[in-house]
Amino acid sequence: MSTSLDRLAARCAALLGPDAVIGDPVRLRTYECDGLTTHRAAPGLVVLPESAEQVAAIVRACAAEGVPYVARGSGTGLSGGALPRTDGVLIVTSRMRRILEIDIPNQRAVVEPGVINLDVSRAVRPHGYYFAPDPSSQQICSVGGNVAENSGGAHCLKYGFTAHHVLACEVVTPDGEIVQLGEGPGYDLLGVFVGAEGTLGITTKITVKLTRVPETVRTLLAAFDSIEAGGTAVSAIIGAGVVPAAIEMMDALAIEAAEAAVGCGYPDGAGAVLIVELDGPDGEVAHQFDQVERLCRDAGAFEVRVAADDAERALIWTGRKSAFAAVGRISPAYLVQDGVIPRTALPGVLARIDALSAASGVRVANVFHAGDGNLHPLVLFDDAEEGAAERAEEVSGAILDLCVEHGGSITGEHGVGVDKARYMPRMFTAEDLDTMQMVRCGFDPTGLCNPGKVFPTPRLCGEVPGVRKGPHPLVAEGKAELF
């Protein structure tokens, strides 16, 4: 441990009490990765604050020592956004788990960042409300992590992402100040903070919007011969003006994996299954559900199963929800990608993923939020086989290229983190990335706040235009005469 980390450990122990500071190498290893296990680094020090004031004091201490720091909620992120620094401090929010306020008439709640996503819904369900963002890790992930990653979930087609359900945040800035970001006049700094992957500060209090529990939820499973037919059904449903709570699709290989793992009993011989869920008032749901069923059959569904009750609904979802874990049954290892494409490009892109898979011999199982064009290709490989991981990585990159080529994105809901920073220049020009980094430099001029994430090439904040001296550079370079 370096001297500055030693000093920080002593200071934090004095501030927070000795049991809030972890310096023991064995215990530090617990924190060496988040949900992206291919990247690992044990933190130099772990601290467990209990208040915004403590977080601010830690940040100020890090700033004074010039030591980088990373915030971490439950560590379920899939892009390495909470990957620690061996030369830095990991600020873990697991002791900030209080639900501070529930305001039903105004449909909001105020929570600390360590509060578990599902616990918000549990607390307000007796009043008929829930917290809508539902990442599949919602039983364990934290609201602070949801804010950092702007987390989505199967139901974000209708309900949107975390950004749409956060009304205000109290934030410790990299300057160590406690500020309020929220709705109201001036710049929408809340908007830029949510989804900034922990690079602009640490949230210490979150005001979330509560959503009314729908009167009715109805779910169906439709089986098709091919992904193309399923894609046609998706387009028809959206085109008819229906906004389902969720439309999920799985291809044959994903179905095979789910059957092997949980025996979900999906129809035999399906090239693709579609799960469509509608929720809302009885009248609306009944009307639209009939329409969806008909559109699925028109698109060629050879079987449509309608869940008669909650148990049947859970059974339909079991296959989908187990899909990621289930591929372990058919492959020793896999990479999961998170590309996005325009909904209408689905059939074309999937055909090209098939071709990529055939040409490379690397199997790809597809599970996706079809309604919003968010693909989760599972690229399968055998980690015991030499070069297999590299080939899988190559196919992954090629899939992201396909997404970008079709006007889509390299990530839909998992974030950039350390995992996809290198792909950012495929989507953005140098000028676009520069504009983002100008904002980062505004918040974090010394670059100590979660460094190494999101941006492929960190920009030194000395390069910020604000620092330029003398005449405007366009004049100095003579460019101002050129246009």
Q: Which of residues 345-404 bind its own copies (CB under 8 A)?
A: none
Q: Whose CA is closest to 205, among 106, 118, 132, 114?
A: 114
241 binds its own copies (CB under 8 A): yes
Please name the residue ranges forming H helices in 100-209: 117-124, 143-149, 156-159, 189-193
435 binds its own copies (CB under 8 A): yes
Binding mask 123-152 for its own copies (x = CB under 8 A): -----x---------------------x--
CB under 8 A: which stretch of 356-364, 377-385, 388-396, 461-469 binds its own copies? 461-469
CB of 416 to its own copies, least distance (A): 4
Q: Whose CA is closest to 75, among 110, 47, 116, 123?
A: 116
Q: How far apart are CA 225 and CA 476, in angstroms?
A: 65
Which residues are registered as beta bridge partners of 101?
A: 110
Q: How far apart are CA 93 and CA 118, in angstroms?
A: 16
Give φ, ψ of 273 to 5 degrees. -120, 150
Please name the residue ranges forming H helices in 248-407: 252-262, 282-298, 310-321, 323-326, 346-360, 388-405
CB of 71 to its own copies, least distance (A): 17
- Sign, CA dihedral 179-182-185-186, equals positive
Which tokens is 373 given? 């064009």
61 binds its own copies (CB under 8 A): yes
CB under 8 A: which stretch of 34-42, 86-94, 385-393, 420-428 binds its own copies? 420-428
**Residue 126 and residue 172 in contact, taking contact as beta carbons nearer than 8 Å:** no
Nearer to its own copies, 308 or 482 (CB): 482
Residues 176-195 that bind its own copies (CB under 8 A): 176-181, 183-189, 191-192, 194-195
Binding mask 3-42 for its own copies (x = CB under 8 A): ------------x---------------------------
Binding mask 78-117 for its own copies (x = CB under 8 A): ---------------------------xxx----------
Nearer to its own copies, 108 or 320 (CB): 108
Q: How far apart are CA 373 and CA 409, in angstroms?
A: 10
Q: How far apart are CA 220 and CA 211, in angstroms?
A: 23
Q: Which of 36, 52, 441, 449 binds its own copies (CB under 8 A)?
A: 441
Which residues are registered as beta bridge partners of 166?
A: 208
Nearer to its own copies, 113 or 415 (CB): 415
What separation in angstroms does the CA of 441 have from each of 154, 194, 482?
A: 34, 17, 30
Residues 194-233 that bind its own copies (CB under 8 A): 194-196, 200, 212, 215
CB of 474 to its own copies, least distance (A): 6
**Residue 248 and residue 367 in contact, taking contact as beta carbons nearer than 8 Å:** yes
422 binds its own copies (CB under 8 A): no
Nearer to its own copies, 79 or 357 (CB): 79
Nearer to its own copies, 398 or 438 (CB): 438
Q: Which of 260, 314, 355, 480 binds its own copies (CB under 8 A)?
A: 480
Q: How far apart are CA 365 and CA 353, in angstroms?
A: 10
454 binds its own copies (CB under 8 A): yes
